[in-house]
Structure 1
Amino acid sequence: MDEKRLQIYTQAGKIAVEALHHAEKLIRSSRKSSYYILCEKVEKLIKKRGGEPAFPCNVGVNEVTAHFSPFEEREGSIPSKGLVKVDVGVRIGGSIVDTASTVPLSSEFKDIVEANKAALEAAISSMSAGVKTGRIGAVVEAAAKARNYRTIRNLSGHQISEYSLHGKKSIPNIGRSLTPKIRAGEIYAVEPFFTFSDAYGEVVDTNMLRIYQLTKLKRPADRKQIRLYKQILKRFNRLPFSPRWLTDLMPLKEVLEILEAMRRRGIVSAFPVLVERSGRPVTQFEHTVLVREEGPLILTK
């Protein structure tokens, strides 16, 4: 990676770190504040610092593991107890970084949070050029078992490339054989998810859709769909977005109706909110890492 591009990623990383720390502070100090207000404040900070959200700010409480980003203020508020996960993405142009953390609002969750954080650090330490992704997953799994926890086996970290949040390679959270090697110059979002030993250790889809993505560069026939399609492509390219980001064009209800019609035609796809199968709490920590010959470089630290 050339120096100019690295500077852009580094700047995006600084913005992401500030946004994540801001989210953590808001969670600790603004209990009963809505998830909507939290996400709006985080995304506003990202823009103020010169970046753009690479995807909608995600908030996950307890068993809610991924892909929840509220449409409206009435969609819940920060609890007084439990685990609150926040996942933040920043892009400058097409250069993307992704980071996440978990805030424990109850003392009973302190150990699992510390264990998850340590597993992320161990995983990153193992990331030298030529290492197989399954080996990194084995490091995460071993770290979980050593503290009597388990990982979410059907979630993984992911390669990041220009304007692409999820690249060809993934980093599992369990040991696997026959996996590809990571190479110098590649960028990965490494994100171990932990849960308790009595949990199923797997996430399942809900019927709740909160995040969408343009999947087909096909101009719709309907006039209203054309208008929305053009704005989605212009504003977000093919990166994930929230319908609330389009309410300057039309009311939310109308946005959702058009997106559903476009989803049926395969023009956009949606990410179902994911929950732990057995309903047990889940933690998450994540960094974006550049693989180098001399060792990993954390871009979101």
Structure 2
Amino acid sequence: MLEDLKKAASIAKKIRNDAEKLLKPGESLYNIAETIETKIIDLGGFPGFPVNISINNIAAHYTPKVNDDKKIKDGDVVKFDYGVHVNGYIIDTAFTVEINDNKYKDLIDASKEALDNVRKIIKKDLEVSKIGEIIDNTIKSKGFKPIYNLSGHRIERYILHAGVSIPNYNNNSKIRLSEGTYAVEPFATNGAGFAEDYTLSGIYSIISDKPIRDPNIRRFFMELYKDYNTIPFAYRWLYNKYNGKINLNIAIEYLKKNGNLYEYPVLIEQGDGIVTQFETTFYINNEIFDMMS
């Protein structure tokens, strides 16, 4: 397991350099996402989830759609959130850059320093609320707010969000870090400090194998599970493979209504604030492994 995580982390580190080079004015979000996801596969991994490119007040879960024409612009604050898995063992990581400007440097530094401060104290048996307290105090010391309703999370094999949340503030939880894999991801904002649903993302994950009456959609679902297990996947990943063979929109809506698929919402900052994010994945046993260090 640890060897698979290390391989995924090695790929993720290489990918970060490639991503930073692509984040420039005029580059399309679609091309960035497709290029990075292809590179992950070429390096021997698989995307742990669709590449998220969330800009300015968009907090999370924006991945380009088919024929998406959005492009990077000067002054954009870009959160680049991506994952790599090897045999289902997932590395989840993110960083923020401002394109050809320094207007939001302090806000970017707030989330980055919050993660750096967590690195100094994280250990087995630490209460998750203590991590949240460090994040909250660091971000507030810079004059900003954490996003209170976004959090890090435990990761298990093929399961990106595995139950235990790592808050971005002191929520007084007595849950302690046991041995396992955890993503810590401080979000900072100059807005209200809360994220809210904006629109649907085109990112899905399988949440149930509830019986499916339609045989064609049942076959489609079985192929989805074979390809992705419970790893999140994107509509655009399916488009080239299935469009014309099955009515993709009808099949997906059926599976959502039947309770087989969940579609993630795009999240925006409630007060229209700019949002920044940094994230790493820790493996914790008797030692601490910062998988992206």
Pair 259,217 (structure 1): closer, same or farther in 2 beyond 3 Å? same
Segments of 5+ residues of structure 1 without an aligned counterpart are none
User: TM-score, with normalisation over the residues of structure 2?
Assistant: 0.95
Distance 2:126 2:275 in 1: 28
Q: What SS class does the counterpart of residue 23 from structure 2 fall into?
A: helix
- TM superposition shift of 1:20: 2.3
Please list, as runs of the form range in 1=range in 2, the aligned pairs for 1:79-228 lying within 5 A after superposition: 79-105=73-99, 106-183=101-178, 185-196=179-190, 199-228=191-220
Instruction: Write the distance in 2 (CA, Å) between the matches of 1:6 and 1:251.
Output: 38
Check the 8 A contact 2:256/2:263 in 1, yes or no.
Answer: yes
Three-state SS of the structure 1 residue aligned to 2:176 is coil
1:209 positional shift = 2.9
One-letter identity of the residue aligned with 2:48: A
CA contact (8 A) 1:205 1:274 kept: yes
Partner residue of 1:65 out of 45, 59, 62: 59
2:56–2:77 contact (8 Å) kept in structure 1 = yes
How many angstroms apart in 1 are the aligned matches of 2:4 and 2:137?
34
Rounded Cα–Cα distance in structure 2 between residues aligned with 1:79 and 1:208: 23
Q: Is the 8 A contact 1:17 1:99 kept in 2?
A: no
2:16 corresponds to 1:24: no
- Greater shift in the superposed pair: 276-285 or 72-81: 72-81
Report the 3-state secondary structure (helix = DSSP H, G, I; strand = E; otherwise coil) of the residue aligned with 2:197: strand
Which of 254, 273, 283 is residue 276 of structure 2 equivalent to?
283
Give deviations 1:54-97, integer Å, cap 9, x for gaps.
11000100011111111223341112212011111111011111
The one-letter code of the counterpart of 2:109 is: E
How many equivalent residue pairs? 291
**Would the alpha carbon gap of residues 257 and 78 (structure 1) be closer, same or farther in structure 2, given more than 3 Å must change?**
farther
Q: Which moved more, 1:48-57 or 1:261-270?
A: 261-270
Distance in 2 of aligned mates of 1:75 and 1:134 = 41
Which residue in 1 is equivalent to 2:40?
46
Q: Report what 2:236 is aligned to.
A: 244
- Offset at residue 166 of structure 1 (A): 0.7
Question: Aligned equivalents of 2:183 and 2:161: distance in 1?
Answer: 9
**Distance of 1:227 and 1:154 partners within structure 2:** 37
Instruction: Tell me which residue corresponds to 2:258.
Output: 265
Identity of aligned pairs, percent?
Answer: 32
TM-score by length of 1: 0.93
Matched position secondary structure for 1:32: coil
Alpha-carbon contact 1:158-1:188 (below 8 Å) kept: yes
Query: Unaligned 5+ residue runs, structure 2?
Result: none
Partner of 2:7: 11
Report the CA distance between 1:205 and its aligned residue.
Answer: 0.5
Kept in 2: contact 1:67–1:210 (CA 8 A): no
8 Å Cα contact 1:63/1:281 also seen in 2: yes
Q: Is the 8 A contact 1:124 1:190 kept in 2?
A: no
Structure 1 Cα separation of the partners of residues 177 and 69 of structure 2: 40
1:23 partner amino acid: A
1:258 and 1:78 map into 2 onto residues whose CA distance is 32
- Counterpart of 1:247 in 2: which secondary structure? helix
Given that residues 90 and 158 in structure 2 are in contact (C-alpha distance below 8 angstroms), is that contact kept between their aligned partners in structure 1?
yes
CA RMSD of aligned residues (A): 1.5
Return the alpha-carbon distance in structure 2 between the equivalents of residues 16 and 281 of structure 1: 26
